[in-house]
Amino acid sequence: MKISPKVTNIIIKGVGAAAIALIAKDAHVIGKLQSDVYAQSRDADAMHKRYSNTRTLNSPSVTTAKLKNTIFRFEMEDNTRGFINSALGYFKGLGTMLVSSVVPFALGLGALLGKKCGGLAKGSAIGLGVYAGLKFFKDGLGLGNYNNLNSRF
């Protein structure tokens, strides 16, 4: 039974779109997680620095102490730094995930954007199938992975 080129093209484009969608979903989730971690760690570092600054005086001065405490309270309630660091963390996580998934991303783009039933589209779709199979056996079933939990050292 021969499959028509129209159906083959739909299958190839569907495989490419599915690969891009799965990679985008993973990248978005990792971006959100990295956003929280990055923003919180940067806020904690900044608050530690500001708090440490309020605990020391170069010369005894009530005015300087009150100024330092006012700046510290302002920094504690300011959410601009958290917003900016959250965005930076998101794009950092998103970029990290896209770079680590560059092979299936490129194959998905090749399958999605290749000419109708062209060599690039077919090769990319076949490559995605092989990559998915290897990923399933290696990461899904754990075949070929060294068992770190069973090692003595």
Burial 82-111 (b: 16+ CB within 10 A, else e): eeebbeebbebbbeebbeebeebbebbbbb
Is the pLDDT higher at 5 or at 128? 128
Rg (CA), the chain: 26
Write the pLDDT tens digit of every residue in 98-107. 999 999 999 9
Question: Tell me, what's the pLDDT at 78?
Answer: 82
Q: Is 14 left (phi over 0), alpha (psi -120 to 50) or beta?
A: alpha
Interatomic CA distance for residues 141 and 149, integer angstroms: 16
Write the pLDDT tens digit of every residue in 40-93. 999 888 888 888 888 888 888 899 889 888 988 888 888 888 899 999 999 999
Question: Tell me, what's the pLDDT at 129?
Answer: 92
Interatomic CA distance for residues 94 and 126, integer angstroms: 26
pTM: 0.75
Inter-CA distances, 137 with 57, 58, 95, 130, 141, Å:
62, 64, 26, 11, 5
Write the pLDDT tens digit of every residue in 65-74. 898 889 888 8
Question: Tell me, what's the pLDDT at 32?
Answer: 93
Length of the chain: 153
Interatomic CA distance for residues 105 and 128, integer angstroms: 9
Is the per-residue pLDDT at 26 higher than 90? yes
- Is the Cβ–Cβ distance between 19 and 125 less than 8 Å? no
